[in-house]
Amino acid sequence: MHDLILSWIRTAVPAAAGSLIAWLTTKGIDVDAEEAAALILAVGGACTALYQVVVSTLQRRWPVVGVLLGSTKVPVYRAGRREGVHGDLPLHRL
């Protein structure tokens, strides 16, 4: 799998998991809609970061845990390598 796509997956999965955890955590808390949105965003950010850190740390010891990030494969970034959908085009041509 292309490393760029792999990195997107390994970013989106923790974001979705963190959002779900935040939503479940805030269920049952009686606040108005505006406060609920702010609460979910704040808790969601913390849950996403915590999820990413915990799963990445556990993956170093037990590689199979990486499936909780969407893939057990870790993207490899090499110096001088241009990646992306338009990696062969200079920015002024996009």
In a domain, 91, yes or no: no
What's the mean pLDDT when you consider all of the chain? 81
In a domain, 88, yes or no: no
Q: Which domain holds residue 21?
A: 3-70
Condensed to tens digits (0 to 9), the pLDDT of residues 19-65 reads 888 888 877 778 888 888 888 888 888 989 999 999 999 999 999 99
Domain count, the chain: 1
pTM above 0.75, yes or no: no
Confidence at residue 43, expressed as pLDDT on a 0 to 100 scale? 86
Confidence at residue 67, expressed as pLDDT on a 0 to 100 scale? 92
- Which single residue is written with the structure tokens 């809609």? 33
| Contact criterion met (CB below 8 Å) for 65 and 59 | yes
Residue 94 has pLDDT above 80, yes or no: no
In a domain, 78, yes or no: no
Q: Burial of 56 by CB count in 10 Å (0-12 exposed, 13-18 middle, 19+ buried)? A: middle
